Chains A and B, each alone.
Chain A
C-alpha cells in the first residue's frame, strides 16, 4: 500500500485508505479509551477556571483531578497502541486486521508508554509557551508511529527512533498544521450538528428546547470544552494513522521497499 514517494499529501492520502480499513472495529477501541481522558481534561479545566486566581489554594482538588486524568491517559494509551497496530497491519496487508491486532508486543507498548509520558510532561511544562505543546504533540504522534519498531524495552532506542523520524521535520510540521485545521473544522461541525439537532427537535417535536438552548451555546464554556474534546476524539484516528503511515513510508524509503513495490506496480499490465 505504499504508492507514492514520501510527502505530506501521500501520507494523508494513504492514511485515509488505512483508516477506511482499520476504523471498523478498531477505532472504537481508541474512542472508548479516549473518552474518559478527554472528559477528565475538561473537568480539570472547568475546576481550574472555577478556582481562577485562587487555584493555588485548591491544590488537593486539582491534584486529585490531575491524578485521575493521568490514570485515564494511561488507559487511552492502550487504545492508541491497539489502533496504531491495526493501522500498521492494514497498511501491510491491505485488509481489515483481525484478532492479531490485540497482540501488541509488550516491549513496544512499554517503550511507547515511556515516550508518551515524556510528551505529556513536555506538554504541561511547555504550556505557557507556544512551541512547547506543538513539540509535545509531534513527539506523541511520532511515538505512536514508531511504537512497533521497538522490539525491546529500553529508554534510549525509542528516543533514537523519534530523533530519526523527526528528521522529516517538514512533513511532520505540515501534518501538525493540517490536523490543527482539521481540529477546528471538526469542532465547528460538531457545534453545528448540536445546533441543527436542537433546531430540528424544536421544529418537528414538542420537545422543550428552552433549557437546552441555554446549555448548547457558544457562551457555555463547558459545552465549548466538550465540543473541542469531541473534535479531538473525532480526528485522533486520522492523526494516528497519518503518523503510522509517515513512519512506514519513511522506513520504506530507507529500506528500498518503496522502490521495489513501485517497480512491481509498473511491471504489472
Chain B
C-alpha cells in the first residue's frame, strides 16, 4: 500500500488538506470543504451542482436515462430468450 503524503489545501497553501472534492479531486482544508449527503465537495463544484440542478438540461438527461433504461430492459428480455434458447439447443 502506498504511504499517503500530507498535501496542502488547494486554496490555502499553509493549511493541511482535510479531504478531497469528489468532483474535481482538489485537496481541501476543513474550511473549504463541504460534506453534503456524506460526500465531500468544494464550494465551486457545489455551486455548479446547484445551478445545473436548477437548469433546463435536467429534463433532457431524465428523458435520456429513462429511454436508455427502457431500451436496455427490452433488449434484456429478448437476450434472455435468445441466450436461453441457445443454451437449450446446446445441451
Contact = CB atoms under 8 A, between A and B. Distances in A.
* Same assembly: yes
Interface of A: 5, 44-45, 48-49, 51-53, 55-56, 59, 62-63, 66-67, 69-70, 73-74, 88, 92, 110-111, 113-114, 117-118, 120-121, 124-125, 127-128, 148-149, 151-155, 251, 254-257, 259-260
A52 B88 CA distance: 5
Contacts of A44: 80, 84
B24 interface: no
Contacts of A92: 38
Nearest to A254: B20
Interface SS, B side = helix
A70 B68 CA distance: 15
6 contacts: A48-B85, A55-B85, A117-B76, A120-B76, A127-B83, A151-B53
Given A52-B88, A128-B87, A256-B20, 12 more contacts: A63-B81, A66-B80, A69-B77, A113-B65, A114-B65, A124-B79, A127-B83, A151-B53, A152-B49, A153-B62, A154-B65, A254-B22
Interface in B58-90: 58, 61-62, 64-66, 68-69, 72-73, 75-90
